[in-house]
Every structure is written in C-alpha cells, then in structure tokens.
Structure 1
Amino acid sequence: MTQTAVFRLQAKTQSYDWGKLGDVSKVALYAKQSGQSVDATKPYAEFWMGTHPNAPSVVMDDAQTPLKDLIHQYPELSTKKIYDQYNGDLPFLFKILSIRKALSIQAHPDKTLGARLFKEFPNVYKDPNHKPEMAIALTPFEALRGFRPLEEIEEHIQRYPELNELIGDDVAQTFTSTIQEQQDDIEKNKAALKSVFSALMHSPQEQVTKQLSKLTDRLENKDKEDPMAELVLRLNQQYPGGDIGVFAVLLLNYVTMEPGQAMFLGANEPHAYLSGDCVECMAASDNVVRAGLTPKFKDVDILVEMLTYRYGSAESQKMTPQSFGLHSLLYDPPIDEFSVALTTLKSGEEEEHKEIPGPSILIVTNGNGNMRAQGSSYPLEEGYVYFVGANVELSAETSNESGLEFYRAFTVPT
C-alpha cells in the first residue's frame, strides 16, 4: 500500500438514559480526547467507531472526512473483497459502553429472521442483517446471559411463589416433571423451558404488578446480602411500575465479569447488560427484539418464538481468548464479521502486530505510548482511536511507567 493507511478518528457518542453521567463515563472520557465537550449532567452511554450511518466516525483532518468516504476513495484500505461484500461499509461496529442502569432484556435475530422482520415491519426493524455481538469488560461488569441450568430454574419456581403464580401450577408442574424424567432429552427440556418463559412473558400486566409488589415487599425484609434479592430490588427500582423483566432474571443467568473477561452473544440468545463499562463489537446492524426492562416497544411473541432455549451455567457463557502475540489476546467469535485483539503492555514492553489482511479500528483504553506503522510514529493516549487499513504491520510500545492497553477490532476476508 503506497498511500497512508493509518488515520486518527473522531468517534461519536450516543446519549441514552441508561448511560453513566458526565466524566464518570468512559465514553465521555474518551470523547474529550478528540476535542468533544462533555456535560456533567448528561448520560454518555455509547462511543461508536465505524461507518454506521447513525453515528459515523470521521478522520481528524482539516476536512473532517467521513471514514466511509475515505474507504470509498481508497477501497484497498478495506480490500476489494470486503468492500464489495459490505457495500463499502466496515463489516463491524466497534463501541465502548458505559452502563449506569440495566439495558433491556433482548435478543438479536439471525439473518433469516432479520430479513423477514425488516420486510414486514420496516418502521421497527431497520435493516435485514443479523447482529451478533461480543462484550469484553473494561471494569467489573454485570449482565444477564442465556437461560440458567434447569435445576436452578426449578429451585426458583419453588423459592419464589410469585413466579409460580405468574406461570401457573400446570406449567410449573409440567416443567418439573419433564426435567426430572427427561434428563437426557434436550429438545423436550427446551420445550418445557419455552413453556415457562412464554407463560411468564405473556402474564397480564395487572398480575405482574401485583406479584412483583408482593415479591419486592417480601425481599425487602430479607437478607440484603442475598445477590438475587439485591438484583431484583435494584432492577425494580430502576424500572418501577411492574416491569416483567424483573421476573425474567429468575430464569436467566446472572453473569459477572472482571476486566478482560468476555462473552459472545449469538443470534436468538437472550441477554441484558446491567452495569459497568465494556468494549463491544457487533455486526453493523441495529436489529433488536426487546421484551423487558425497557419503556421501548416490546415484541414478546417474536422473542418467545425466536430463542434457542439453550441453557447452562453462568460461567459457561464466557469466552476463552487465545494467544495473539507476546502481550496480546484474541477474542475470536464463530462469525465472519469481526474479531478483537487486546494488547496489554507494562513499562518497557513492546508488541508487534503482523499484517492483518483486512481493515481494523484501534482504541487505547488505558495508559499511553507510541505506535509505528509504514515508517511513521503515532501517539497512543487513552481514548485515541485509529483506523488501520488492510495489510499494515504495526508495533506499539509504552512511553512511561503507566503501561498501555488497547483493543483492536478487525475483519479478514473469507
């Protein structure tokens, strides 16, 4: 590649009610590094890095060139194959999330369902694509992810009579007998789990409000150190008025992650982020089917039908990264659109990234240092974002005792 293939970007922020406020938000902290002003009273929820039209990144040059325009001018930055396959866009949207209160319980459709929803309800579902995504914790992070082991769900039905009231004795008894008698029949177990989830999510609002009031009143008088009681009470406080999503946490895994831990959210898997800061990468889509912990439109029927109803432990929801150089880890989900590398350097350390045959975006999440590519040097400061074109070898080193941490999202042609 003869022309420059490394460009510093200004990424845009998104302000949603659930975001952290002002300087408490890593989103706001990173945005300030590219000259954006921050309002201490405003929630800064997401930091978008990519070509998505809702918040496209721009090159920090005199013309403030949109990244998509740059790629259109020089398709080789993306490679011809990726450029053609994704119509000149990047295949992924890279984000930082700063979460003050829970996001909605949701799932993302696969490509077949996404295309059908876009065709039938274009005002709600804005594109025909799927939206697999991956979250890597920057700070201690909480989420709901996938269905709990069936034995835990059975225990919750017994422990929380309010849950049993909503799903009904018949559904509860059928579920219990099925998982006890059909332990090895995964499909029958999934069908029984679907019946429980469907009955819960279709509960009349009047009954949800009544049973949730009973549940929270009872938990208020119990041991506040009980993690489930604390979670139920916290979510009810965040979404008062009888949100069915508060009950859904009794069926879904409560997952906690430390910095560097990750989870991949494939199509048709229920999840909700609860608190913390994370790096997120996803296919460039905005398709979301919601059913709880939200004032937005809920599509309960579609959500109930679309889920896989896989079940397992909270720990099983996490990814295992692979080695990616001396000081880097690779998070490589089973999809084509993206992978993410995390590089962590201590004082005096250096890392080389061999040529990646596709486009990438890099964000510095901690510390500072320098990056070398194509014979030039680029400063790395917390919050700096760079686009790196295809087939560019780079190296990074720390500049002082603070160390250096950066994430790099990329796509390779398939």
Structure 2
Amino acid sequence: MDRLTNTIRPYAWGSTTAIPELLGVEPTGEPQAEMWMGAHPGAPSRTERGPLNEVISADPERELGPEAVAKFGPRLPFLFKILAAGAPLSLQVHPNLAQAKEGYEDEERRGVPIDAPHRNYKDANHKPELICALTPFDGFCGFRAPADTARLLEALDIDSLKPYVDLLHAHPEDAALREILTAVLSADHDEMAATVTETAAAAERLGGAYAPYATLAHHFPGDPGVLAAMLLNPVQLQPGEALYLGAGVPHAYLGGLGVEIMANSDNVLRCGLTPKHVDVPELLRVVHFEPTDPGVLRPEADPDGEEVYATPIDEFRLSRLVLAEGSAPRDLTARTPQIVLCTAGTVRVAECELAPGQSVFVPAGERAGLDGSGTVFRATVVV
C-alpha cells in the first residue's frame, strides 16, 4: 500500500483556511481550493514508488485488479478530492457518456486545440460526481418548481423580470424553463447586466432567502448566472450529507468543506458565474430541464457498520467508517483498488498511521486492516 502525497490546487475560489485547518498546518494566505487524490495526469498523487498514474500504468492488473481493468480499462476510473469553497464556483452542468463522446469526437474532427479556452470537451468521458459535506455546505442543485421561482421573482418587483414570471406559469414546465434559461443567457449583455444589478439591489434589501443572490452578484457583477441560479433549488448540506450530481443537472457550490468524488473527466459546460467560455447552444443540448428535488443523500449502514452513499454508477463508490475508541478492527481488503482518507481522529490502515487529511492507496487484493479512533472515507469502484 502507498501513503499518498497530494497536490493542492490554488483556484481563486478556494478557502484560505479550511484545508490548512483540516491538515493542522498554518495557512499560507493563498486560496487552497482542492486537494486531489488519485491518478489524474493533471496532478497525480505521489508515492514512494513514483506518481500514482505511472505506478498503475506499469502494472494495471496488479494495482487495479483484473475485474476493474476489464470493466474500466487500465486506469483508476475516479478522482477523489477534498474541496474547500471560500467563494462561489461557476454554475455548471456535465454531459452524459454519449454526449461526451460525440462532443469530443466533433471537436477533434474540427481541430479545436485541447487547451483552447472555447473547447467544451477535454475527453470522451462523462463526469458524474458526489459531494459529501464535512462542514455545513451551501449550493444550488437542479431546477426548482417553476411556481416557486415565480414567487421568488415576483417579490423582487422588477419590470424586466416580469416576462420571466409569466413564462414560469406556462406549461409544459420543461419548455418554460428552457425558454427562460435561453433568454437569460442570450440577452443583450448591457441590458442583462442592468437587470442583474437591479436584482442584486433588491435581493440585498429583502435579505433572508434572497441573500445568496446578492452574494453571487457581489462576486460576479452583472453576470446572467445570478438569474440562472434563481431557477435552481438552494440546498445546505449538514456534515455527513451528500449530493449526487448526474448528467444534465445544473449546479453550483457556494461555500463549505467537503469530500468530492467523480469519474475521471474534465468535461464541464458552464451556465454562468464565471469569466470562462459559455457555449449556450451546447449547454442547452445537455441540460435536463425538468424540475427535480435536490435529493440529499444520507449514508446507509451495511451489517458491518460501513456507511455507503448509494449512487447509480460504477466508476466510484464512496463510504464512511466512524471508529470509536476501543472498537474492533475492520478488514478493508477488497478485490478493487481503494483510496482511504482520514478526516478526523487518528487511524491506521495496516501499518500506515493517518491523521486528518492524510490518505493511502490500497491496491486490489492487498490486505488492509483498519483500526484506531476517528473517521475515514473509503473510495473504490463497483465491479
């Protein structure tokens, strides 16, 4: 098994304190947004045997197990992260597998450089993801009922929003949501900026449920994503609660510390709250426009006390184990590859002692006992 040394990504939206506090180190003063654990070539974890992606590439069946290689190919199919949002992230959506393959192949045929700022598809894979809160965690997820959004907009009493209120009362609901999002993202830039500014002032005045939109407008003045976010369900996760984000579901994270796991992909289509490229036609092709409940997940304990976050995909499986002082050791041995992360207390995986924020990679089939007192998250795959 390999103790992991992980890269921290300094994205501008990252918290300056959350990851240092978890690790028990002094803040640097710079934003620390994500700590990556895995074999993604952009920032692979490092081991005494070398970068994890190179370790796996040297002998995929030994590291991942023959079943995982047969199902997912010779690479770790997930990326595991600690995510610390100190400011809002972009409003975004991910494609399904067929859309990702089609979009990637199309951009390859057209010769769009892989690092071009207007490129949508960096690979041919989908990117389902799961975020599990370590602290209270705020965000938006999925379209709320149009009638609820209509009431939200009506209270702002802004003339330029009244046509959207009328549309929100129209049927079918999916067509109304599509028409509004299209109008918001395609409107004249100056006119939309003026509407967003007026909306922000009204949201500041009203406070309460409107406060998040004033915050968004503070970070992204005049951005149409502020209005797009008003179409979505606000959600606050409590520690231990999670959201599963499948293809086509618009979402944004506002703030908090969490554990995130996703399929190994960089495919993101943005709806706003960003200076980056927004491809409206492609976005509209990918978004699911039906109203939906955010679907907050709470883990379900198996007979051995391992708490599993159930999701409908196989590229990753996330679970949590909480060990009390003096509890019996657990056997984590599995025929699949694993990354084990400690988030509280002190635990041992085989001979590796882990403090909060520390992690290990356990190759398929390697014996791995777990003991100590604390909380760990276990990331693996389903074969």
Report the Cα offset of residue 408 of structure 1: 0.8
Residues in 1 aligned to 2:32 and 2:209: alpha-carbon distance in whole angstroms = 28
The equivalences for 1:110-149 within 5 A come to 110-121=96-107, 122=112, 123=114, 124=119, 125-149=121-145
Letter in 1 for 2:297: M
Aligned to 1:20: 15
Report the Cα offset of residue 134 of structure 1: 0.4
CA contact (8 A) 2:299 2:319 kept: no
TM-score (normalised: structure 2) = 0.90
- Asked if residue 207 in structure 1 is aligned to residue 191 in structure 2, the reply is yes
2:54 is paired with a residue whose SS is: helix
Deviations along 1:220-243, whole A, 9 cap, x unmatched? 333x3x132x11111111112x01
Report the Cα offset of residue 80 of structure 1: 2.1
Residues in 1 aligned to 2:375 and 2:346: alpha-carbon distance in whole angstroms = 8
Gaps of 5+ in 1: 1-5, 33-37, 179-187
- Asked if residue 409 in structure 1 is aligned to residue 379 in structure 2, the reply is yes
**Using a 3 Å threshold, how does the CA distance of structure 1 residues 31 and 58 change in structure 2: closer, same or farther?**
farther
- Asked if residue 274 in structure 1 is aligned to residue 254 in structure 2, the reply is yes
Letter in 1 for 2:122: K
Letter in 2 for 1:319: L
- Asked if residue 389 in structure 1 is aligned to residue 363 in structure 2, the reply is yes
Match of 1:77 among 47, 63, 75: 63
Gaps of 5+ in 2: none
**Using a 3 Å threshold, how does the CA distance of structure 1 residues 208 and 335 change in structure 2: closer, same or farther?**
same
Report the Cα offset of residue 255 of structure 1: 0.5
Root mean square deviation, CA, Å: 2.1
Letter in 2 for 1:72: S
Aligned to 2:315: 337
Report the Cα offset of residue 219 of structure 1: 3.3
Residues in 1 aligned to 2:264 and 2:272: alpha-carbon distance in whole angstroms = 24
Match of 2:85 among 73, 85, 99: 99
2:169 is paired with a residue whose SS is: helix
CA contact (8 A) 2:127 2:266 kept: yes
Letter in 2 for 1:110: N
- Asked if residue 231 in structure 1 is aligned to residue 196 in structure 2, the reply is no
Aligned to 2:53: 68
CA contact (8 A) 1:370 1:397 kept: yes
CA contact (8 A) 1:29 1:383 kept: yes
Deviations along 1:68-110, whole A, 9 cap, x unmatched? 2222333222112323544421010001101000000000111
**Using a 3 Å threshold, how does the CA distance of structure 1 residues 243 and 249 change in structure 2: closer, same or farther?**
same
**Using a 3 Å threshold, how does the CA distance of structure 1 residues 134 and 27 change in structure 2: closer, same or farther?**
farther
User: What is the aligned length?
Assistant: 372
Report the Cα offset of residue 158 of structure 1: 2.2
1:128 is paired with a residue whose SS is: coil
TM-score (normalised: structure 1) = 0.84
Aligned to 1:363: 341
1:151 is paired with a residue whose SS is: helix
1:370 is paired with a residue whose SS is: strand
Deviations along 1:128-168, whole A, 9 cap, x unmatched? 11000000001110011000122212212322343x625x6
Aligned to 1:221: 205
Match of 1:8 among 3, 21, 28: 3
**Using a 3 Å threshold, how does the CA distance of structure 1 residues 202 and 317 change in structure 2: closer, same or farther?**
farther
Aligned to 2:284: 304
The equivalences for 1:147-296 within 5 A come to 147-162=143-158, 165-166=160-161, 169=163, 172-178=165-171, 188-222=172-206, 224=207, 226-228=208-210, 230-240=211-221, 242-296=222-276
Residues in 2 aligned to 1:327 and 1:82: alpha-carbon distance in whole angstroms = 25
Residues in 2 aligned to 1:218 and 1:271: alpha-carbon distance in whole angstroms = 23
2:254 is paired with a residue whose SS is: strand
Letter in 2 for 1:49: M
CA contact (8 A) 2:311 2:317 kept: yes
Deviations along 1:36-66, whole A, 9 cap, x unmatched? xx7622111111111111001111x2xx511
Report the Cα offset of residue 115 of structure 1: 1.5
Aligned to 2:33: 45
Residues in 1 aligned to 2:213 and 2:167: alpha-carbon distance in whole angstroms = 26
1:231 is paired with a residue whose SS is: helix
Report the Cα offset of residue 393 of structure 1: 4.6
CA contact (8 A) 1:357 1:412 kept: no
- Mean Cα deviation higher: 75-84 or 98-107: 75-84
Aligned to 2:353: 379
Report the Cα offset of residue 27 of structure 1: 6.2
2:243 is paired with a residue whose SS is: strand
Aligned to 1:55: 43
Residues in 2 aligned to 1:235 and 1:350: alpha-carbon distance in whole angstroms = 47
